[in-house]
Amino acid sequence: MDEIKAVYIHIPFCKQICSYCDFCKFYYDQKWVREYLMALEKEIKDRYMDEKISKIYIGGGTPSALNNEELDYLFAIIKLLNLDDNIEFTFECNLSDITEDLIDKLIANRVNRISIGIESFDPEKLEFLERNADFEDAQRKIEMCKAKGLTNINVDLMYALQNETLKMLKKDLKLFLKLDVPHISTYSLMIEPNTKLYNKKIEAIDEDLDAKMYETICKTLENEGYEHYEVSNFAKPGLASKHNLTYWDNEEYYGFGLGASGYAFRVRYTNTRSLTKYITGNYVMEKEMLGEKEMMDYEIILGLRKTKGINLKHFYEKFNVNLQNQYPVDDLVKSGDLIYKDGNIFINPDKLYIMNEILIKLV
Partner 1 sequence: MENSHIRNFSIIAHIDHGKSTLADRILEICHLVDKRQMQDQMLDSMELERERGITIKLNTVKLNYNFEGQDYILNLIDTPGHVDFSYEVSRSLAACEGAILVVDASQGIEAQTLANLYLAMEDDLTIIPVLNKIDLPNADVPKVKKELMDVLGFKEEEILLVSGKTGEGVKELLDEVVRKINPPRIDKTSPLKALIFDSYFDPYKGVVLLVKIVSGKVKVKDQIKMMATSSVFEVTEVGVHTMTYQSLDTLESGMVGYICASIKDISKVEVGDTITLENNPASEPLKGYKKMKPMVFSGIFPTESSRYDELKEALEKLKLNDASLTIEPETSVALGFGFRTGFLGLLHMDIILTRLEREFNLDTIATSPSVIYRVTLTGGDVIEIDSPNKMPDKTKIVKIEEPYIYTSIIAPAEFIGPIMTLCQNKRGIYKTTDYINENRVNIHYEIPLGEIVYDFYDKLKSSTKGYASFDYEVSGYKESKLVKMDILLNGEVVDALSVIVHETESYNKGRAIVQKLRKLIPRQNFEVPIQASIGSKVIARENISAMRKNVLAKCYGGDVSRKRKLLEKQKEGKKRMKMIGSVEVPQEAFLAVLSEDE
CA distance 186 to 195: 19
Nearest residue (CB) to partner 1, 107 versus 209: 209
Closer residue to partner 1 (CB): 13 or 247: 247
Collapsed DSSP state (helix, strand, coil) of residue 71: helix
Q: Minimal distance in Å, beta carbon 4 to partner 1? A: 13
Q: Are strands 233-235 and 227-230 parallel, antiparallel or unpaired?
A: antiparallel
Helix-then-strand count for the chain, H and E = 15, 17
CB of 360 to partner 1, least distance (A): 5
Task: Give the shortest CB-255-to-partner 1 separation in angstroms.
Answer: 6
CB of 335 to partner 1, least distance (A): 10
Q: How far apart are CA 279 and CA 42, in angstroms?
A: 9
User: What 3-state class would DSSP assign to 85?
Assistant: strand
Is 21 or 102 the residue whose CB approaches partner 1 more closely? 21
Tell me whether residue 177 or residue 301 sits nearer to partner 1 (CB atom): 301
Q: How far is the CB of 326 from partner 1 (least distance, A)?
A: 17
Contacts of 214 (CB under 8 A, 6+ apart): 159, 188, 353
24 versus 103: smaller Cβ distance to partner 1: 24
Structural contact between residues 233 and 240, judged by C-beta atoms closer than 8 angstroms:
yes
Under DSSP, the state recorded for 22 is: -
Smallest distance from partner 1 to CB 140, Å: 28
Q: Which residues bind partner 1 (CB under 8 A)?
A: 8, 23, 185-188, 190, 207-208, 210-211, 214, 231-232, 244, 247-248, 253, 255, 259-263, 268, 270, 286, 288, 297-298, 301-302, 305, 352-357, 359-360, 363
Q: Between 239 and 302, name the residue whose CB sits nearer to partner 1.
A: 302
Strand boundaries in the chain, DSSP class E: 6-11, 13-14, 26-27, 52-60, 82-93, 113-119, 153-159, 183-188, 227-230, 233-235, 253-256, 261-264, 267-271, 284-289, 310-311, 338-341, 344-347
